[in-house]
Structure 1
């Protein structure tokens, strides 16, 4: 069996423990709802989600990563887990919600997940587990022989904090039953805007990287920097779009009286701010792009698309 097929099979099989346990809970709760275990599962849906995440993702994914010497799978499941969570919260016996709001959030979550999953596999040339995130590789070098245990915390446990945190609005939507109002439509617009912006930004980046790969194969000079389309107005429009999605999702929860639900989006934004610094430092490691990228940094907004700075304005270089 080829590596690609083997990794695909692992990725499809690995969430089954949580899915089968939840299906077992649903079928048994309907007939034995006074049983201590099933009663607890019914009364604590958020805690149950965290327990399943801990054992099925943190522990099982970590063990697989030690066997394969790669943490590739968590990137794939960053796009899948919100979809699993939205259906978990929607179908949980203790849920109560406005049907239309739930349907909208379910559809939006699927659209977001499909876009991000498509971008991931397009970037990875449709391979399963061909490589892990470069940030994990850098951390592995830093931790050395301690990486085997440190990766459990640095890669997996931290993902639980982020993913459950940013998905709290999905939980709130399914435990508060209030009619739709104007703010729901504002949330829809913000979420869709984020998805669309991220899609076009990632597509423009993919096109740019693909052209540079062809230039490299032909032995021609590489274009040092992407400074067209959305990337003309922002250094990280894909990050901006992704943040719009999570903040739009938080508006749904805020509208239902849960202001604290913004905490997840805020923590995720702060984390992405740190990632932005790491990405830009990495960009400056390539000598052929240092000068162009430093100028790009001076003239272009970091996240929010905006007009070029009037200072240090120079004509754009044409791609050769």
Structure 2
């Protein structure tokens, strides 16, 4: 049997019943894969006879090894980053395909796959337009970490966290769908709670989309301002000179897109709790670790940003990192508005260059 025989919804979230009995399949999987390669059994047979949680976890471990090898060969450590927006949805699609092949109800998993596919499409596009899939592109934070630790330590960091742990994490944030799959064997029909859950997920994706669009518009305007010394329509010079966005959703949260991202996967876990009629369950490990990961990566990002822009520390004190610190929008300190900038503005440099060029023209004649 590839699935446990359960009689109560609460059992679907019980690790000892839903997961433990199938751990031996994980240990036996390498030998069975070799059997498929040798032609002793079919791949479809292996797939349907293996518990979907076990096979999904095994795939994440295998991909971790792929990410490790590619990263070490290319000396580029953003391999997982390139797959980040795709893998959770592929894992949910895996649960959906397995249920269909096993002849199990899949309506509730279809609903989860719907929101996840939309999430993947949006996030993949956003990563692409920022150049994430360009040849040689790498998250700038990896280079900073490489400079701060010994080479051997960084390689160990890649062998563990960057390649394997992150790969497994991308499976674990999708793992709550396994609980929903089990619950569907007892309560197969799509419920109003499932529809409400999808609506909430779509609302969170919309929030993340709005935040990213606001950030993209600001960064595009800042680049245009830097290149031409002209303030684009809809923006103020003081805002662009500040160097970071503080308007829209960013006036209430320093990272509204990150807040929405964490909420998306935490709510999927809550959906699995509701489906299994439990207050909490083992599937919370994934979204919990994701939250810890965002805490660390955001801390590093802000440390870098605060070193570049003097006003950022005031922004940190006034605006919450993820959740709003209050109902009022961020306002720049009066001293920051009146005082002259501590560094030469990009616009001033551009204007000086233009003046020099004008002065040179008569001489050239």
TM category (shorter chain) comes to: 0.7 to 0.9
The 1-side partners of 2:89 and 2:191 are apart by 24
Indicate yes or no: 2:314 matched with 1:295.
Answer: yes
User: How much does 1:52 deviate?
Assistant: 2.1
Identify unmatched segments of 5+ residues in structure 1: 1-20
Pick from 184, 194, 204: which aligns with 2:204?
194
User: Residues 1-320 of structure 1: matches in 2 within 5 Å?
Assistant: 28=42, 38=46, 42-55=49-62, 57-92=63-98, 98-124=105-131, 127-146=133-152, 147-177=154-184, 178=187, 179-218=189-228, 222-257=241-276, 259-260=280-281, 261-286=283-308, 289-290=309-310, 292-305=311-324, 306-308=326-328, 314=334
The 1-side partners of 2:312 and 2:151 are apart by 35
Give 3-state SS (helix, strand or coil) of 2:254's partner. coil
Identify unmatched segments of 5+ residues in structure 2: 1-32, 231-239, 339-346, 348-365
Contact 1:86–1:106 (8 Å) recurs in 2: yes
Give 3-state SS (helix, strand or coil) of 2:245's partner. coil
Contact 1:233–1:308 (8 Å) recurs in 2: yes
User: How much does 1:117 deviate?
Assistant: 0.5
Change (3 A) 1:247 1:95: farther
Change (3 A) 1:218 1:192: same
Number of aligned residue pairs: 285
The 2-side partners of 1:270 and 1:316 are apart by 33
Give 3-state SS (helix, strand or coil) of 2:216's partner. helix
The 2-side partners of 1:311 and 1:215 are apart by 22
Q: Mark the structure with the bigger radius of gyration.
A: 2
User: How much does 1:138 deviate?
Assistant: 2.4
Query: CA offsets per residue over residues 175-217 of structure 1, 9 Å max, x none?
Result: 3212333432332232112101111101111111111222222
User: How much does 1:233 deviate?
Assistant: 1.3
The 1-side partners of 2:206 and 2:178 are apart by 24
The 1-side partners of 2:91 and 2:42 are apart by 20
Contact 1:83–1:109 (8 Å) recurs in 2: yes
Change (3 A) 1:89 1:211: same
Which region of structure 1 is more displaced relative to structure 2, 300-309 or 107-116?
300-309
The 1-side partners of 2:80 and 2:207 are apart by 24
Change (3 A) 1:186 1:304: farther
Contact 2:254–2:321 (8 Å) recurs in 1: yes
The 2-side partners of 1:278 and 1:46 are apart by 33
The 2-side partners of 1:136 and 1:96 are apart by 45
Contact 1:90–1:102 (8 Å) recurs in 2: yes
Contact 1:72–1:129 (8 Å) recurs in 2: no
The 2-side partners of 1:310 and 1:160 are apart by 37
The 1-side partners of 2:121 and 2:337 are apart by 35
Give 3-state SS (helix, strand or coil) of 2:249's partner. helix
Change (3 A) 1:211 1:312: closer
